[in-house]
Amino acid sequence: MNLAGFFLFPLLGAALLVGAGVLGVVYFENNYADRVYPNVVVGGVNLGGMTVSEARLVLESAFPYANQPAFVFRDLGTNRTWTATPAQLGVSLDASSAVAAAFGIGRSHALQGNLLEQLDVYRNGRQLPLLWVVDAQPAVRFLASITADIYRPVVDAGLVFADNQLLATPSQIGRQLDAADALQQLSPLLLALGTGEVELLVLETHPRISDESVAGVLDTALKMTGRPITIFLAESAFESDPGPRNLTAEELAGMLVLWLDEGVTPPAYRVELDQEALAAWLEPLAESLSTESTDARFVFNDTTRLLEPIQPSIPSRSLNVAATVDTILVQVTGDNREVPLVIEWTQPRIGEDATGDDLGITELIAVGDSSFGGSSEVRIHNIATAASRFHGIVIPPGGEFSFNRYLGDVSEETGFEQGLIIFGGRTIQGVGGGVCQVSTTVFRAAFNAGFPIPERWPHGYRVGYYEQDIGPGMDATVFYPQVDFRFINNSPYHLLIETYVYRNTKKLEFKFYSTGDGRTVETPEPLVANVIPHPPDRYEENPELPTGKIEQVDWSADGADVLITRLVRRADGSILFEDRFFSHYLPWQAVYEYGPGTEGMPPPEVEPESDVTVDPDEDLESDTG
């Protein structure tokens, strides 16, 4: 054998061995490409040679703890139990993570590192821990469901009206699971993957009112609700007074309340009617029975100089709700089921027995008058109706006179008739035309008496009635209830007001009686400025009028600004106060309406004498003329 052969054969053998080794490694890697390498153990289970899905199934089968009943929860009070698996309480085997860790052995390094790790595992094996997960939220939810099953609200024994009879309703002990205590007992068992029984701590609350307590007062309650109670007005004073009202047995039962009387030994429960509920039931009656007091009215006899009553005083009436409730509580357990309402009367400030000396009404101190010449019968009727509301009233010292307060509602139901009124910037038909004649006249009387006048409104334009015997600016409009006329009796004496309608002379008069304090009234000449002639007459067709018919529905008036000054002096000549009354009157045109086809209508337009125009949409104060 030559030298070359001597070296060739060993080299060839080594190459064959290396090749065989490489082929073996390739075969091994191919065989375990999707399998766990041999001798990889998880939780004592050898997963070598298994695919990922096979290994997961093997682990889940080997460790069924999570899905087997392992825990019992017991309510010792009722011996009721609830069973749960660890999985229901939040314990789960993380087989996927454990298998992923096993599969990663020999695959998490570079090639040489992987081969070395595979060889080491093959020779020595590799132990991996089993992965368990504990989540507290499922346990909390499971305990919440037990809490709902165990929970019972505490219920007092009571009384209920059903099927036309009063029945006792049973009490109930309240029960509430202490879920925090149960979770505290459960947590160490879950963390140890153990089993066991949890004794539930249930908190019980006993009712305040027991069945025995209700049974003890049931007879009394039956007496209280056995028959209706009739509430009645012992003495009716007005036609509108309500008749008897019944508190029915059902209403009485609904007002029953139980309460613990700790003032006796031993403490005992008692039954009575709810006082607030009774008061609420009586409240509508209280409203219907409430009336205001009315002072007596008088006239001053100028001959005898004495007061003569013309209308008696009327005391105010109110229902004493608290006293009526007390009466009901006293009688509700007895045989007498008729309870009179407790009424209280309050006498007015001024009775019909008052004298002039008592009130300081001893003489005539001021007069205000106005003329209503040319008024229709309807307007005169309304003037008389309105004036009668003020005849004989007495204003106390320091008291305020309000025209609207004494006038009240202006309607056909209260005695007024349809007439011409100023509304929305027009003279139209409406209820109460002529009322402003009365407010204007009382304004003049208060003006002449020297009383302070905190509220007075002029008309929107000059009205002929109020300038027949006096200049402009001495009128006062009202419109119930928004626009009022008010003055203050700032004297130390009462003030008596008398009203007189003189149909023959077409005059309205207000007389003020009191005791003069020496005050005097000075009025310089009024200032009249910015006089604007009235616009030309306007003609409008009215389809409701017959042909040839022409009617005047509004009257012309020149516009102007008027300022009246009043100086009120004391008896010693010093100034008590000074005030001014300003009136802004718009120019106003006469308006005529005519029937369709009336000859000569409308007449030719006449150029106005002034370049001042009036906005027909001007928003004027409404009043009752």
Peptide linkage before 348 cis (omega within 30 of 0) = no
R_g (Cα) of the chain, nearest Å? 53
State yes or no: pLDDT of 20 exceeds 70: no
Instruction: Please give the pLDDT value at position 118.
Output: 84
Give residue-wise pLDDT tens across range 33-58: 889 889 899 888 898 889 989 889 99
Instruction: Please give the pLDDT value at position 119.
Output: 86
With pLDDT > 90 as the criterion, what percentage of the chain qualifies?
A: 54
With pLDDT > 70 as the criterion, what percentage of the chain qualifies?
A: 90
With cut-offs at 50, 70 and 90, classify the pLDDT of residue 215. confident
Minimum mean pLDDT among 200-214, 295-309, 513-527: which range? 200-214
Minimum mean pLDDT among 68-82, 209-223, 490-504: which range? 209-223
Pair type for strands 71-75 and 80-84 = antiparallel
- How far apart CA 169 and CA 82 sit, in angstroms, is 31
Sequence-ordered list of residues with C-beta below 8 angstroms from that of 152, at least 6 positions apart, any chain: 172, 173, 174, 175
Q: Could you tell me if residue 419 is left (phi over 0), alpha (psi between -120 and 50 degrees) or otherwise beta?
A: beta
- How far apart CA 463 and CA 443 sit, in angstroms, is 16
With cut-offs at 50, 70 and 90, classify the pLDDT of residue 149. very high
Q: How far is CA 296 from the centre of its chain?
A: 40
- How far apart CA 577 and CA 305 sit, in angstroms, is 31
Tokens of 213: 């307590």
Residue type, 149: D
Give residue-wise pLDDT tens across range 529-550: 999 999 999 999 999 999 999 9
**Where does 51-135 have alpha helices with state H?**
52-62, 95-104, 111-124
With cut-offs at 50, 70 and 90, classify the pLDDT of residue 499. very high
Instruction: Please give the pLDDT value at position 498.
Output: 98
Backbone angles phi, psi at 420, to 5 degrees: -80, 130
Q: Are 102 and 36 in contact (CB under 8 A)?
A: yes
Q: Which of 441, 352, 436 is nearest to 394 (CA)?
A: 352
Instruction: Please give the pLDDT value at position 621.
Output: 37
Q: Are 132 and 94 in contact (CB under 8 A)?
A: yes
- How far apart CA 476 and CA 582 sit, in angstroms, is 11
Tokens of 79: 């011996």
For the residues 435-454, what does the mean pLDDT come to? 97
With cut-offs at 50, 70 and 90, classify the pLDDT of residue 492. very high
pTM above 0.75, yes or no: no
Q: How far is CA 538 from the centre of its chain?
A: 52
- How far apart CA 562 and CA 528 sit, in angstroms, is 5
Q: Which of 375, 381, 368, 483 is nearest to 432 (CA)?
A: 381
With cut-offs at 50, 70 and 90, classify the pLDDT of residue 560. very high
State yes or no: pLDDT of 404 exceeds 90: yes
Minimum mean pLDDT among 92-96, 172-176, 322-326, 490-494: which range? 92-96
Give residue-wise pLDDT tens across range 351-367: 999 999 999 999 999 99
Give residue-wise pLDDT tens across range 256-287: 887 777 777 766 778 889 999 999 999 999 99
Higher pLDDT, 128 or 615: 128
Higher pLDDT, 37 or 27: 37
3-state secondary structure 150-180: HCECCECCEEEEECCEEEEECCECEEEECHH
Higher pLDDT, 240 or 505: 505
Minimum mean pLDDT among 10-24, 191-205, 308-322: which range? 10-24
Alpha carbon distances (Å) from 574 to 215, 448, 523, 525 = 84, 18, 16, 21
Domains of the chain: 212-346 (3.10.20.800), 356-594 (no CATH)
Sequence-ordered list of residues with C-beta below 8 angstroms from that of 510, at least 6 positions apart, any chain: 367, 368, 369, 390, 441, 442, 444, 445, 497, 498, 499
